[in-house]
Chains A and B, each alone.
Chain A
Amino acid sequence: MLRREGRTAWLMASPALILLIIFMIVPTILGFVLGFTNARLVSPTAPQFIGLENFVRAFTRDPVLPKSLINTLYFAGVVVPIHSALALALALLVNTKLRGRNLFRTIYFIPVVTSMVAVAVLWRFMYQQEGLFNSLLSTFTGSAIQGMAWLNEPGTAMPAIMLMSIWQAVGFHMVVWLSGLQTIPGELYEAATVDGANAWQKFRNVTWPGLRPTLIVVVVTETIGALGVFAQVNVMTNGGPLDSTSTIIFQAVRASVKQQDVGYGAALSLLFFLMVLVISLIQSRWTREKN
């Protein structure tokens, strides 16, 4: 009886397990192998093992890679804190009992469902010298600010991409924070009210401690997402101007698709994966401390 149950279970599990092995586990392992070879995307000759050559090349002979690494960390370092804080502020704002809060929730969430490619093209248009962004700036400042072509300057291209990325995804994490807020028992607030706590004290002593698990989820998923930034860069700036917006995944894709250099692309993906692993380790340590 139990043996039959086991057989049926394996039968039901097998479609998913086979796909998981082929499309998840094999490529993960393959990534570790390919990074140490000179594999080409489509090539009659078999890939050769070349040791650490790809990594040596990345850090000594590839002028764009160190820049891409720094840009990636810059992007994540700015976007993650602003994103998390703004998303929390939005969640607190729409968690009040005001009428119409559902409408505002819906509006803030709309950019999340839009395609990154479509809105990246749209924002690229808005960021032009003659674009909407500058015309609004000059309208609201009484022509005091004339603006510039934001994506064409090495200093402003990345911040422009960051603003767009925050606009697009902040609603997602607003909802995650909201679900965190809903787990805090209402009695705690009532007790705090009885004790005469003001709004700030309630936030400081009830809300914030109660949100700690959510904070970990938000920061970790956002960091991993931000380190993988690709579509906006590819559509809006193509890595430029002067490589000021090139990121690690952007470069990995360029190496393996445009130059067919899969070995090198896989090595760069490995670097990305290492960063993600470090963050996941920090997360598990951070979560354990609490329990």
Chain B
Amino acid sequence: MTTQTTLPGKAATAARKQPRTQLSEKWLYVPMVLLALFFLFPIVFMLVSSFKTDAQIFSDMRGGISAFLPTGPLSLENYAQVFQKVPVGRFLLNSLVVSTATVVLGLVVNSMLGFALARMRWKGKGFVFAVILATLIVPFDAIAIPLLFEATKLPKLEFHGMMPVITLNWLNTYYVQIIPFIVNAFSVFLFRQYFSSIPAELDEAARVDGASWFTIYRKIAIPLAGPAFATVAILTFLPAWNQYLWPLMAVQSEELRPLNVGMDYFFQLKTSWGQVMAYASIIVTPVVLVFLSFQRAFVSSIASAGVKG
């Protein structure tokens, strides 16, 4: 025990005598900067090109470095053209509706199950948790096709004028883009872990005061679980905003298309590269800006996603 306590002390003094950053460590900036260029150059190229004419893009590319600089006449013409050629505003709205609804509904539904698993005693709890863990290993790619088949058989509510009508087939609806993605085994798992770490005395005291379990969930668990909600929100929003495989399969109609699938079709129209870059910037820039403002939350959410084991 004594040796263990003296060792770090000695090491700390030894470390203090050294200059804070050794000269050799400074060399690490070279690979760091080169890697930064590697990760940034495509995105800078995309953004810069979205303001140029095609002729300018190609002549700047031959110049190497000028491809990354705002050279020549710059304008918003490409963006204007994108909005004119395809209903990009509508696609943007679709992406927003789908990802917001998936995140909000997912937070409610998954946190309730996580709460029940973490804090309450009930028959079947162990079994339910085992099933959740088992479904963690099923990747979405493996069930996309059976899910597509199933979606053609599901009932939906439609309004013909004021008349509510039940019809079959979820393809080409918001339903098919949102509802299958609300529940997420990993989100349930994260919520359960987080709720388990809240001291049990809190809800025992609330129980004694006559609070119902719903009240405890709403008034105690939710306010204390901010970081868990943020993590799940980010981990749900990113794939929802960027999803491609599923809407490509399940949504054929143009007015329900999300941004990504819309871009795929736009690209196939053989439009100018400047316009394609403008469209790509429309998809990428909002998330990058959100990421830059909530960078810390993003990084910690991915870190906790990685620890799932």
A interface residue numbers (CB < 8 A to B): 2, 5-6, 8-10, 12-13, 15-17, 19-20, 22-28, 30-31, 34, 39, 41-42, 90, 93-94, 96-99, 104-119, 121-123, 125-126, 130-132, 135-136, 138-140, 167, 171-173, 175-176, 178-180, 186-187, 190-191, 193-194, 213-214, 216-218, 221, 224-225, 228, 230-231, 234-235, 249, 252-253, 256-257, 262, 265-266, 269-270, 272-273, 276-277, 280, 287
Contacts and interface: CB of A to CB of B under 8 A. Distances in A.
Contacts of A119: 42, 280, 284
Contacts of A42: 152, 169
B183 A269 contact: no
Contact of A24 (B29, B138, B248): B138
Contacts, number: 316
A116 B244 contact: yes
Contacts of A175: 299, 302-303, 306
Given A41-B152, A115-B242, A115-B244, A96 B28 contact: yes
B67 interface: yes
Contacts of A97: 20-21, 25
A172 B152 CA distance: 35
B305 to A, nearest CB: 8
A104 B46 contact: no
Given A136-B64, A175-B306, A262 B264 contact: no
A135 B146 contact: no
Given A19-B109, A115-B244, 12 more contacts: A15-B109, A16-B112, A20-B185, A25-B131, A90-B35, A98-B29, A114-B283, A116-B242, A138-B64, A190-B12, A194-B7, A234-B248
Contacts of A167: 38-39, 42
A63 to B, nearest CB: 21
Given A42-B152, A111-B39, A119-B280, A15 B112 contact: yes
A216 B150 CA distance: 34
B51 to A, nearest CB: 15
A228 B306 contact: no
Interface stretch (B75-83, B86-94, B122-130): B122-130
B292 A106 contact: yes
Interface in B122-154: 122-125, 128, 131-132, 135, 137-139, 141-150, 152
B36 interface: yes
Indicate the member of B179, B238, B241, B284 with the most A CB atoms within 10 Å.
B284
B229 interface: no
Minimum-distance CB pairs A-B, first 4: A176-B306, A190-B11, A139-B64, A179-B303
B142 A31 contact: yes
A83 to B, nearest CB: 14
A12 B116 contact: yes
Contact of B283 (A13, A115, A221, A280): A115
9 contacts: A13-B116, A113-B238, A113-B288, A115-B259, A175-B299, A176-B303, A194-B11, A230-B245, A276-B142
B266 to A, nearest CB: 9
